[in-house]
């Protein structure tokens, strides 16, 4: 019985014809799929008496091989035909596309800008190579302020190798963009100034000679400290989640009066105290305050008519909190194993 069936199928397989890839697939299913006719014979083969097994087994294998090689021949013929017609093979799986990833610092910066843009802030940029006036002088830094020291700030030599006193330097904060905006625009002003800043620091896990800041500045009539607090609270909740609390501690900056530093409830332990927040439940994220009237005046804005607030934050710091990156150096080493972890962010 099974022997005759093998013969029958042999003849059928020899005469197999297909006009299209679909017909060819139908033949494959008919004979070789799980429920195909040849597969079916293999199932019946288990019941064949021992003495017939050897011969029938050989025939059965030959049948299967013949079907497979006939189908393969047909497949190749179709492919050759398609290539000859120069038709694109729409069934082929595409080459994998290697997608790049956005840098974690860019992700954070974009998120900060996005949040404040909902409060009406726009982005302003300024030069990284700056002069003393815009980085310190107009921001109310006293002439002898230690930030002007060579130990803290990179000064740019005007002539190569000539160490003359110079007032050209790499900006140490993006507050310098404030002075550029205030001298070129009339209030109301509502800007964010993201960018890279430089400080003369030894590189370690916690400090780097360059890093990134986002500065915010709002100048209008009747701007109050309450407005500042409200904007910062909105930011903290949007950035770190609705349960985030903020706290403002009095501080000092030459360009703001009064000044404050802002902490958020530790987003790692939720404020109960952990190693990250040194058991305090709070982590500092930015400096802020009301723009000092001296700064407004030095930029040509009438401090009797206008007031304003400013704030500045480190992008690395926010990124640390958001993505738990502990070593600052990872941000500039461009190790793809580190960067690829932000693929889905
Ligand atoms: N410029 C400050 C720094 O680099 C950050 C800062 C603090 C900016 C207070 C501000 C501010 O606008 O009001 O550390």
What is the CA(327)–ligand 1 centre distance, in A? Answer: 23
- pLDDT for res 20: 86
- pLDDT for res 275: 85
Sheet holding 256-265, edge to edge: 122-123, 189-198, 210-220, 307-314, 282-291, 256-265, 246-253
Q: Please report which confidence band the pLDDT of residue 290 belongs to, taking 50, 70 and 90 as the band edges.
A: very high
- 226, pLDDT greater than 80: yes
- 344, pLDDT greater than 80: no
Question: CB count, 10 Å around CB of 47?
Answer: 7
84-127 pLDDT, tens digit per residue, is: 887 777 888 888 877 788 999 999 999 999 999 999 999 999 99
Q: Where are the beta strands (DSSP E) in the chain?
A: 122-123, 129-131, 168-170, 189-198, 210-220, 246-253, 256-265, 282-291, 307-314
Q: Ligand 1 in contact with 175 (CB < 6 A)?
A: yes
- pLDDT for res 309: 98
Q: Please report which confidence band the pLDDT of residue 147 belongs to, taking 50, 70 and 90 as the band edges.
A: confident
**Which of the 8 DSSP states describes residue 45?**
H
Q: Which residues pair with 310 in a beta bridge?
A: 217, 289
Nearest CA owner, ligand 1 atom 2: 312
- pLDDT for res 163: 59
- 267, pLDDT greater than 80: yes
- pLDDT for res 85: 82
User: Are the CB atoms for 219 and 308 separated by under 8 Å?
Assistant: yes
Report, as an integer, the average pLDDT of 192-209.
94
One-letter-per-residue 3-state SS of 273-323: CCCCCCCCCEEEEEEEEEECHHHHHHCCCCCCCCEEEEEEEEHHHHHHHHH
Q: Ligand 1 in contact with 318 (CB < 6 A)?
A: no
More confident residue, 93 or 58: 58
- pLDDT for res 294: 96
- pLDDT for res 237: 97
Q: Ligand 1 in contact with 121 (CB < 6 A)?
A: no
- pLDDT for res 115: 98
Report, as an integer, the average pLDDT of 142-158.
84
Distance CA 107, CA 156 (A): 31
Q: Please report which confidence band the pLDDT of residue 271 belongs to, taking 50, 70 and 90 as the band edges.
A: confident
- pLDDT for res 324: 87
- pLDDT for res 29: 94
Q: If you average pLDDT over each of 13-17, 153-157, 174-178, 269-273, which comes out highest?
A: 174-178
**Which of the 8 DSSP states describes residue 150?**
T
What is the CA(287)–ligand 1 centre distance, in A? Answer: 5
Nearest CA owner, ligand 1 atom 8: 312
Q: What is the mean pLDDT of the chain?
A: 92
- 161, pLDDT greater than 70: no
307-328 pLDDT, tens digit per residue, is: 999 999 999 999 999 988 889 8
- 345, pLDDT greater than 80: no
Which are the contacts of 206, defined by CB distance < 8 A and separation ≥ 6? 328
pTM reported for the whole predicted model: 0.72
Q: Please report which confidence band the pLDDT of residue 261 belongs to, taking 50, 70 and 90 as the band edges.
A: very high
What is the CA(231)–ligand 1 centre distance, in A? Answer: 16
- 182, pLDDT greater than 70: yes
What is the CA(6)–ligand 1 centre distance, in A? Answer: 87
Coil, helix or strand at residue 266: coil
User: Are the CB atoms for 296 and 182 separated by under 8 Å?
Assistant: yes
What percent of the chain clears pLDDT 70, i.e. is strictly above it?
98
Report, as an integer, the average pLDDT of 234-259.
96
- pLDDT for res 38: 94
- pLDDT for res 3: 87
- pLDDT for res 91: 84
């Amino acid at each position: 019985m099974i022997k005759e069936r093998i013969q029958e199928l042999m003849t059928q397989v020899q005469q197999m014809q297909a006009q299209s890839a679909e017909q060819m697939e139908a033949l494959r299913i008919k004979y070789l799929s799980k429920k195909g006719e040849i597969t079916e014979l293999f199932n019946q083969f288990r019941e064949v008496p021992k003495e017939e097994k050897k011969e029938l087994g050989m025939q059965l294998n030959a049948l299967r091989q013949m079907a497979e090689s006939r189908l393969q021949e047909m497949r190749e013929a179709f492919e050759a035909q398609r290539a000859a017609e120069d038709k694109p093979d729409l069934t082929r799986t595409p080459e994998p596309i290697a997608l790049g990833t956005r840098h974690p610092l860019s992700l954070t910066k974009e998120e900060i800008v996005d949040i404040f843009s909902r409060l009406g802030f726009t982005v302003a940029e300024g030069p990284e190579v700056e002069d003393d006036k815009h980085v310190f002088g107009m921001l109310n830094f006293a002439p002898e302020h230690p930030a002007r020291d060579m130990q803290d700030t990179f000064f740019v030599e005007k002539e190569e190798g000539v160490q003359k006193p110079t007032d050209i330097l790499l900006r140490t904060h993006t507050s310098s963009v404030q002075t550029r905006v205030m001298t070129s625009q009339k209030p109301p002003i509502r800007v964010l100034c993201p960018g890279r800043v430089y400080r003369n620091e030894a590189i370690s896990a916690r400090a780097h000679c360059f890093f990134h800041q986002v500065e915010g500045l709002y100048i209008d009539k009747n701007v109050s400290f309450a407005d500042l607090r409200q904007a910062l609270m909105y930011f903290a909740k949007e950035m770190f989640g609705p349960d985030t609390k903020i706290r403002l501690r009095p501080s000092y900056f030459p360009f703001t009066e009064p000044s404050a530093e802002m902490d958020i409830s530790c987003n790692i332990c939720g404020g109960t105290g952990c190693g990250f927040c040194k058991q305090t439940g709070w982590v500092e994220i930015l400096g802020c305050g009301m723009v000092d009237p001296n700064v407004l005046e030095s930029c040509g804005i009438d401090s009797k008519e206008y007031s304003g607030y400013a704030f500045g934050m480190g992008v690395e710091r926010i990124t640390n909190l958001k993505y738990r990156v502990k070593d600052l150096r990872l941000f500039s080493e461009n190790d793809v194993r580190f960067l690829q972890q932000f693929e889905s962010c």
